[in-house]
């Protein structure tokens, strides 16, 4: 015991303990980093991540910061996932043309390969929604069930006919005609602009597939009853027809009385 006590008092004991502590801390950090990297692994190659980082620094870092940590001009992108990048960049909403109530769709500035590379880089920064499974984008879901889900969750903003609608303070829900299945799925997953996030706990992947099928179905069907008047709904359309009908009757009455006189 006396020998052991003397060793503890040795001048190098403190150094040995410090080295052991540093080694243990480094080992724990390495394990934690590996776990985080595994969570953020989205199947992109290292080359995609590297190329995406270069594109990000040249085109996005001015607003989002060099490490995508965000700035007063734009939010952090850590943890938003590949799906959010693919939607925003793939629809031309990003990079933004000018500050406004929301990012508006415009011609895309990056091709598909560059968009994928940007998505790969952002996905490497932290776990987030990944690109959707192609099986969920085939348009072979249940359109009837999709219509029910759409009317319950989406119609209050996008209109029952998916024709879009106005929101508050200059914001709006866009029309969904012509939007690709992948971008519709990604929008539900990530909640861009003023849209809420519909996670798998809210709407399952199969439910999202059904909604996409419903939207594709009504787009293919068009308006078999004639002019849809922008899909404003039965009340607005009925009022329009009532006013137009009365206008025709009044005009005809004026024309008829002028002829008899």
Q: pLDDT of 44-74, one tens digit each?
A: 999 999 999 999 999 999 999 998 999 998 9
183 marked as binding residue: no
What are the boundaries of each domain within the chain? 46-124, 134-228
Separation CA 89–CA 131 (nearest Å): 13
145 marked as binding residue: no
Res 144: pLDDT: 96
Which residue would you say has higher pLDDT here, 101 or 25? 101
Separation CA 248–CA 246 (nearest Å): 5
This prediction's pTM: 0.73
Architecture of domain 46-124: Orthogonal Bundle (1.10)
Could you count the other beta carbons within 10 Å of the beta carbon of residue 179?
Answer: 18
- Are the C-beta atoms of residues 79 and 127 closer than 8 Å to each other? yes
- Are the C-beta atoms of residues 97 and 83 closer than 8 Å to each other? no
Structure tokens at 62: 């001015």
Do 46-124 and 134-228 have matching folds? yes
pLDDT at 32 over 80: no
Res 228: pLDDT: 63
Minimum mean pLDDT range among 12-26, 108-122, 160-174? 12-26
Q: What percentage of the chain reaches a pLDDT higher than 90? A: 54
Could you count the other beta carbons within 10 Å of the beta carbon of residue 166?
Answer: 9
Q: Which CATH code is given to the segment(s) 134-228? A: 1.10.760.10
Query: Mean pLDDT in the chain?
Result: 84
Res 254: pLDDT: 86
Which residues pair with residue 172 across a beta bridge?
166
Q: Hey, CA dihedral for 49, 55, 60, 64, is it positive or negative?
A: positive
10 marked as binding residue: no
Nearest CA to 115 out of 134, 133, 88 is that of 88
Per-residue exposure over 132-156, b if at least 16 CB sit within 10 Å of its own CB, e if not: beeebbeeebbbebbbebbeebbbe
């Amino acid at each position: 015991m006396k020998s052991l006590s003397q060793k503890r008092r040795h001048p190098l004991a403190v150094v040995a303990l410090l080295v052991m502590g540093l080694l243990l801390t480094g080992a724990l950090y390495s394990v934690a980093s590996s776990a985080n990297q595994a969570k953020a692994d989205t199947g992109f190659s290292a080359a995609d991540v590297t190329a995406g980082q270069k594109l990000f620094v040249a085109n996005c870092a001015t607003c989002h910061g060099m490490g995508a940590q965000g700035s007063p001009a734009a939010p952090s992108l850590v943890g938003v996932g590949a799906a959010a990048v693919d939607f925003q960049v793939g629809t031309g909403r990003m990079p933004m043309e000018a500050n406004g109530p929301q990012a508006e769709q415009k011609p895309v500035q990056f091709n598909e390969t560059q968009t994928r590379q940007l998505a790969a880089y952002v996905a490497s920064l932290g776990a987030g929604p990944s690109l959707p499974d192609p099986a969920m984008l085939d348009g072979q879901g249940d359109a009837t069930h999709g219509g029910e889900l759409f009317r319950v969750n989406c119609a209050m903003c996008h209109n029952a006919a998916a024709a879009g609608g106005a929101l508050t303070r200059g914001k709006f829900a866009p029309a969904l005609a012509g939007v690709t299945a992948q971008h519709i799925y990604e929008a539900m997953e990530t909640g861009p602009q003023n849209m809420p996030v519909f996670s798998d706990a809210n709407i399952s992947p199969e439910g999202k597939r059904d909604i996409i099928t419903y939207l594709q179905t009504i787009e293919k069907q068009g308006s078999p009853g004639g002019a849809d008047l922008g899909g404003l709904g039965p009340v607005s359309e009925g009022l329009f027809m009532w006013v137009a009908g009365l206008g025709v009757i009044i005009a005809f009455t004026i024309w008829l009385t002028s002829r008899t006189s």
